[in-house]
Homo-oligomer: A and B are copies of this chain.
Amino acid sequence: MARSNTLQYMILGLLTRQDMTGYDIKQTFDKEKAEFWTAPFSQIYPELNRLLKKDLIQLLPTIQESRKKTYQLTTTGRSIFNEWIKQPLSPEITTLDNDNFVLRLHFLGKEHADILQKLLKKRQQTLKVEIAQLELELAEVVSHPEQYGRELIIRKELANKKSDLKLWKKELLK
Question: Smallest CB-CB separation from A107: which chain B residue?
Answer: B149
Q: Say yes or no for A80: interface residue by CB 8 A criterion.
A: no
Return chain B residues, CB-CB under 8 Å to A155: 167
User: In the docked arrangement, what's the CA distance between A39 and B21, Å?
Assistant: 36
User: In the docked arrangement, what's the CA distance between A116 and B147, Å?
Assistant: 12
Q: Closest Cβ of chain B: how far from A151's Cβ, in Å? A: 10
Residue contact B116 to A149, C-beta cutoff 8 Å: yes
Number of copies of chain A assembled together: 2
Residue contact B134 to A152, C-beta cutoff 8 Å: no
List A100-159 residues whose CB lies under 8 Å from chain B. 102, 104-112, 116, 130, 133-134, 137, 145-150, 152-157, 159
- The residues of A with any CB-CB pair to B shorter than 8 Å are 17, 32, 34-36, 102, 104-112, 116, 130, 133-134, 137, 145-150, 152-157, 159-160, 163-164, 167, 171
List 6 additional A-B contacts (Cβ < 8 Å) besides A108-B148, A110-B146, A156-B167.
A34-B133, A104-B149, A110-B145, A156-B163, A159-B164, A160-B163
